């Protein structure tokens, strides 16, 4: 059962971020198409980055009891794209959340909301 602990943890954290996103309408609940494209582009960018690192021998898959052991490609574990989704989604939530907090402190409307990205 521990073999899926990391993957399960990533999925739980992504779910928690989705709840935060839904509550404050930061990313997917503000502009779902733009958010999806942004996350996909980010994941593809980092997968290409990972592929370059794997080919050059910089990146390799280590062993651990908490990962599934399933590889999508040599040295590319199943958990990697899920982690990249988490990373890209987290970045969007943090940036748009920080923008909203700073705008509220200054008493103004965030630029992303002025531009119609609601």
Domain boundaries, the chain: 2-114
9 to each of 6, 67, 82, how far by Cα in Å? 5, 11, 10
Say if CB 112 and CB 58 are below 8 A apart.
no
The pTM for the full model equals 0.89
Q: What is the pLDDT along the chain (118 residues), one digit of tens a residue?
A: 688 999 999 999 999 999 999 999 999 999 999 999 999 999 999 999 999 999 999 988 878 889 999 999 999 999 999 999 999 999 999 999 999 999 888 888 777 776 655 4
């Amino acid at each position: 059962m521990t073999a899926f602990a990391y993957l399960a943890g990533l999925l739980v954290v992504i779910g928690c971020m989705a709840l935060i996103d839904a509550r404050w309408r930061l990313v997917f609940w503000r502009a779902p198409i733009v958010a999806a494209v942004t996350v996909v582009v980010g994941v593809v960018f980092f997968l290409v980055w990972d592929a370059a690192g794997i080919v050059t021998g910089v990146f390799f898959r280590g062993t651990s009891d908490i990962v599934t052991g399933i590889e999508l490609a040599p040295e590319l574990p199943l958990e990697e794209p899920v982690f990249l989704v988490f990373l890209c989604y987290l970045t969007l939530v943090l940036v748009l959340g920080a923008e909203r907090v700073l705008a509220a402190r200054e008493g103004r409307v965030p630029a992303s909301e002025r531009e119609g990205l609601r």
